[in-house]
Amino acid sequence: MEDGLLSLKWNNHKTTFFDILRVLREKANYTDATIAVEGKFYPVHKLVMSTCSEYFSEIFERTPCKSPVIVLKDVRSQDMDALLDYMYLGEVNVNQNDLASLLKTAECLRIKGLAVPDEDPTKTKKQLLPDDRRESPPPKRRRHEDPSSTSQTLRPTSPPASSPSKNSSTSGTAGDRAGAQRTSSLPGTQSQDSSHDSSIDPPPMVKVEMEEAEDLEDGYRRDNSYEGGSINEGDGGDYGSEVSKSEHDPENYGGGSYAGPSLQQGGDLPWEEGDSSSFPPEGFSGDHPGGQQPQGAEGGMVEVGWLGGTGGGGGAGVSDAFRCHLCTVSCGSNTQLQRHIMTHTGEKPFPCQFCSHRTARKYNLKIHLRDVHGVPFDRRYVRY
DNA sequence: CAGCAGGGGGCGG
DNA sequence: CGCCCCCTGCTGC
């Protein structure tokens, strides 16, 4: 029988693997996607994200571009910090007070082991959970509370408020629109219903970890103590460049770089891709009385907010009028800042009606129309 | 040359 | 104050 068949085993494979993964993440090496949350940018690896979340997997599947920027609305960066820790490290320590919000976010993002995939009506995709069991992947969520903290049991299967808001009515394009809504339906700050358990004020540090995480508790765990939001302690500097690099990838224009979960796909004419509501192309005007404001975050569009204080970091008291915390640009007004931020998100709400070109500004589109397509330069808004 | 993006002015709420 | 429009300098092709 199988003579000469040797089994080569790498003893510390998992440990090493995770350790390297952690380093790669820290240094943003080989990252091929960016998650934007509350104006923070998290360079991530598609592989990891896809592994840990079918949701992200779907997003990347539908986003052919090389380095998409996935903008998540109404997800707290604090939660994203924790979830990324969770995905990369297999565990994470969170405040009990933040747990509800975290789980909610995990649910919406369908993070394996954390999410509780109670059947999502919008999910028209292939579902792996055929039967009625709520959690398709073995629910690996466990909590080892800090040695000093009180223990508390939380049921994986009972999301605090499995908000019926998931009923993203638009069943048509469950993928993009609904996806966006799903994230945007997050209640954001979800005060844990600690009503029944009033004794949780002081200590709370809950460790959420994956099942296999035990094996590798030696190497990667050291910087696990993450005080929240330490990912970009570097104060944006390098992230800015990192992001701009990816988002200016021309492939992204047709892809879903801007619209977070609402990945606009489609090769040439992104806006015709099913959800016409994503980009009310202003240039066309005429109809669409309802959905104007192309730059608005309609349908889960970008809407990257400027976090003035950036959570204690950043300028710290400088008279940073309207300073972008992703780069060094200071703007004269909030409007200008919002406009500037679009350069980071890659949002280009103004499609050319004659070619696949898109612009971030209406005026630039007009220039394009005039210079490239010979459209008479209508001053003052087309509208007719 | 075409596109991007910062700065600034006008206008309306 | 926010929105819209425009000018203009810079950059990449």
One domain for residues A34 and A133: yes
Nearest residue (CA) to C1' of C3? A335
Residue-wise pLDDT for A85-120, tens only, equals 888 888 788 887 888 888 888 888 888 887 654 444
One domain for residues A86 and A219: yes
**Residues A238, A239, A244, A245, CA torsion sign:** positive
One domain for residues A360 and A214: no
Residue finishing a domain among A225, A255, A283: A225
For residue A380, being part of any structural domain is answered with: no
**Residue A367 sits in which domain range?**
237-373
**Can you give the CATH number for the domain in which A218 is found?**
3.30.710.10
For residue A379, being part of any structural domain is answered with: no
Q: Is the CB of A356 under 7 A from strand B?
A: no
State CA A211 to chain mean position distance: 24
Q: What is the pLDDT of residue A312?
A: 35
For residue A381, being part of any structural domain is answered with: no
Q: What is the pLDDT of residue A209?
A: 53
Residue-wise pLDDT for A182-230, tens only, equals 333 333 333 333 333 333 333 345 555 554 433 333 333 333 333 333 3
Q: What is the pLDDT of residue A378?
A: 61
Nearest nt by C1' to A339 Cα: B5
Higher pLDDT pick, A334 / A196: A334
Nearest CA among A310, A306, A299 for reference residue A228 = A310
Q: What is the pLDDT of residue A321?
A: 64
For residue A2, being part of any structural domain is answered with: no
Using 50, 70 and 90 to split pLDDT, how confident is the model at A3? low
Q: How many residues would you count in chain A?
A: 384
Q: Is the CB of A364 under 7 A from strand B?
A: yes
Residue finishing a domain among A184, A205, A225: A225
Rounded Cα–Cα distance for residues A222 and A110 (Å)? 27
**Residues A106, A112, A116, A121, CA torsion sign:** positive
CA end-to-end span of chain A, whole Å? 81
One domain for residues A250 and A188: no
A155, two tokens = 């049921």
One domain for residues A186 and A283: no
In three-state form (DSSP H/G/I as H, E/B as E, the rest C), the secondary structure along chain A is CCCCCCCCCCCCHHHHHHHHHHHHHHHCCCCCEEEEECCEEEEECHHHHHHHEHHHHHHHHCCCCCCCEEEECCCCHHHHHHHHHHHHHCEEEECHHHHHHHHHHHHHHCECCCCCCCCCCCCCCCCCCCCCCCCCCCCCCEECCCCCCCCCCCCCCCCCCCCHHHCCCCCCCHHHHHHHHHHHCCCCCCCCCHHHCHHHCCCCCEEEECCHHHHHCCCHHHHHHCCCCCCCCCCCHHHHHHHHHHHCCCHHHHCCCCCCCCCCCCCCCHHHCCCCCCCCCHHHCCCCCCCCCCCCCCCCCCCCCCCCCCCCCCCCCCCCCEECCCCCCEECCHHHHHHHHHHHHCCCCEECCCCCCEECCHHHHHHHHHHHHCCCCCCCCCCC
CA-to-C1' span, A377 to B2 (A): 16
Nearest nt by C1' to A348 Cα: B4
Nearest nt by C1' to A365 Cα: B3
One domain for residues A156 and A254: no
Q: What is the pLDDT of residue A151?
A: 34
One domain for residues A218 and A277: no
Structurally, chain A folds into a number of domains equal to 2
Q: What is the pLDDT of residue A287?
A: 33
A343: CB partners within 8 A, 6+ apart: A244, A360
One domain for residues A135 and A254: no
Q: In this prediction, what percent of chain A has a pLDDT beyond 90?
A: 0
Q: What is the pLDDT of residue A205?
A: 52
Listed as ranges, the nucleotides of chain C within 7 A of a protein C-beta are 1-8
Q: Is the CB of A336 under 7 A from strand B?
A: yes
Q: What is the pLDDT of residue A320?
A: 59
Nearest nt by C1' to A293 Cα: C3
Mean pLDDT of chain A: 56
**Residue A314 reports pLDDT greater than 50:** no
Q: Is the CB of A366 under 7 A from strand B?
A: no
One domain for residues A86 and A182: yes
Q: What is the pLDDT of residue A134?
A: 36
For residue A285, being part of any structural domain is answered with: yes
CA-to-C1' span, A343 to B3 (A): 13
Residue finishing a domain among A225, A250, A272: A225
CA-to-C1' span, A149 to C7 (A): 62
**All protein residues with a CB under 7 A from any atom of strand C:** A 293, 295, 333-335, 338, 361-363, 366-367, 379-381
Using 50, 70 and 90 to split pLDDT, how confident is the model at A302? very low
**Can you give the CATH number for the domain in which A254 is found?**
3.30.160.60
One domain for residues A115 and A213: yes
One domain for residues A209 and A356: no
Using 50, 70 and 90 to split pLDDT, how confident is the model at A68? confident
